[in-house]
Amino acid sequence: MKCPKCQFDNHGNEGFRLTISYKKKYNLIVKKLQREEKMETKAKLVSIVLLLSFLIMTLSCSQQKTEWKGTIQADDGLTIVKNPKESLYGEDVITSEEDLTLGEVEGREEYKSSQIKSSVGWNIFGTERQYPTYKWMELARSADYLCRKVLEIQPDENIVIYADTATDPRVVQATSAAISAIGAHAVVVWYETRGDIDLPPPEPVEAAVLASDVVIEFAAAYLVHSAMWAKAREKGIPMKCLTGMNVDMMVRCINPDNYEKMEEFGRAYNEILRNAQSGYRVTSPAGTDITFKTFSADERERRLVRSRARAGTQRKSRGGMLGGQGMFAVVSSTVNGTIVFDGAIWPPSEVGAIKEPIEMKVKEGVVTEVVSDHPEARVLKNWLAHFHDPRAYNIIHISTGYNPGVKRITGDIVEDERVFGCVEIGIGMASSELPCHTDGIILNPSVWVDDKLIEKEGIFVEPRLKKLAEELGMQLWIK
């Protein structure tokens, strides 16, 4: 009888079967040892290669000159350090790469693409974290300062806040709570977001505004140039434009710790601009170079009288725009030269923060040509052209930015206009009939007032402004 496994007789053959089993085990052990030996050999080879690479890299670096080729210069009291464009060691010495993957992969849950919140649309801005309790204590402090110190709201006043669906509700809630804590009455009106700026709001919004003591605008699609604002101003109602305000912006831009010092800086800067006798010049590293004249002494006096008369019709001079912006006393028809926006421009809503500079030519206060031809520039060209009105190309105002809470472009125009040291230019004669106004930002400008240099490439050099800027913590690296 044969064994079914080994096919040998089952009588007297046990020893032969055991020999076959031992041989199989021996062969498996030998193969395992051979595999381990090969792995050890590979590991040794890899170690040798890495060691040789390190020695070659070290030898190569030691043979190169490592002398720094930059320069340090003193210019008008400024210390300027310039680094060379070329690397100290020429070509890259070592490069490290990391593969990042978005998708349904293993790992921490918050890093998966399904957990990443992405916003689409002009009216949703990603400048800060969008969870409900983000900086809620700091927000409450800024909202309280806005209501008590900036707007000087009094008990029993009726304060209307209007907001569209693009508005950050946390800002509205915090401001309403601050108003209520004063003993005033917060009346909040929400409505759908309009497709463009200055379009008429629903009728109940206007009715509430015209019955109020103070108005706060948080709507992202602002109404500053609308018929409703004109009516409110005629009635002497203070109107505060804080369009598109979000938590991070309010905490930074309405900061109780530096707001008064910011206003002191603004008063000093505006005094210098108002005292110009002939005019101004603005240039920038991106290519801006424009000149424009100021008003005559008689005209400045007439404008001052009119301004005081308008202020006298208001119960209190507590409206206006977000703090941190001043104005050149510019005769618009005298603006000539080249403007290059390199910070932001809005509207049109498709642009915002600029990826490539937009150059345009200006003659006698009118934009005659948008020179740039990249996608963002073409969007701007089409937006200006679609009004079919020459007033859309008029230079309306030239402003200064000096809010210490704004150190970079975010895409939110209300704070981009206030980047510390920037120059902002408004284009388009906006009105309730023609909502064609846009604002563009020039970064790191140089500013001359009557041929005297006030600011050099974004750094204030005029002694009083330089001192105040340092006190605001903006130029501490300048000696």
Amino acid letter, residue 325: Q
pLDDT per position as a tens digit, 280-333? 999 999 999 999 999 887 777 776 676 656 555 444 467 899 999 999 999 999
Residue 65 has a pLDDT of 52
DSSP 8-state class, residue 350: T
Residue 441 has a pLDDT of 97
CB atoms within 10 A of CB 50: 10
Classify residue 22 by burial, with Cβ atoms within 10 Å: 0-12, 13-18, 19+.
Answer: exposed
Reference 378, options 348, 342, 344; nearest CA is: 348
Domains observed in the chain:
1-28 (no CATH), 136-250 (3.40.1830.10), 258-471 (no CATH)
Question: What DSSP element (H or E) covers 241?
Answer: strand 239-241
Residue 323 has a pLDDT of 94
Residue 72 has a pLDDT of 72
Q: Torsion angle, CA of 188/194/196/200, rounded to 10 degrees?
A: -70
Residue 268 has a pLDDT of 97
Residue 115 has a pLDDT of 34
Residue 12 has a pLDDT of 46
Helix (H, G, I), strand (E, B) or coil at 8: coil
Helix (H, G, I), strand (E, B) or coil at 232: helix
Two tokens, residue 321 = 């725009």
Reference 280, options 294, 269, 298; nearest CA is: 294
Residue 156 has a pLDDT of 97
Bridge-based pairing state of the strands 185-191 and 158-164: parallel
Residue 91 has a pLDDT of 56
| Residue with token string 């209501």 | 147
Cα gap 62→60, rounded to integer Å: 6
Residue 241 has a pLDDT of 95
CB atoms within 10 A of CB 15: 7
Distances in whole angstroms, Cα of residue 139 to Cα of each of 145, 162, 179, 473: 10, 19, 14, 22
Percent of the chain scored above 90 by pLDDT? 58
CB atoms within 10 A of CB 477: 9
Cα gap 270→472, rounded to integer Å: 17
Residue 51 has a pLDDT of 73
CB of 398 within 8 A of CB of 327? yes
Question: Distance between alpha carbon 403 and the CA centroid of its chain, in Å?
Answer: 13
Helix (H, G, I), strand (E, B) or coil at 475: coil
Two tokens, residue 375 = 């996608």
Residue 107 has a pLDDT of 40
Residues with Cβ within 8 Å of 340's Cβ and at least 6 positions away in sequence, in order, are 284, 286, 287, 288, 357, 358, 359, 360, 442
The DSSP secondary structure of 70-125, one letter per residue, reads: -EEEEETTEEEEE--SS-TTSS-S---------SS-SS-GGGSGGG-----STT--
CB atoms within 10 A of CB 208: 18
Task: Name residues of the chain where pLDDT drops below 70.
Answer: 1-40, 42, 46, 49, 54-69, 74-130, 303-304, 306-317, 432, 476-479
CB of 290 within 8 A of CB of 339? yes
State phi, psi for 463 to the nearest 5 degrees.
-50, -45
CB atoms within 10 A of CB 100: 5
The DSSP secondary structure of 13-77, one letter per residue, reads: -HHHHHHHHHHHHHHHHHHHHHHHHHHHHHHHHHHHHHHHHHHHHHHHHHHS------EEEEETT
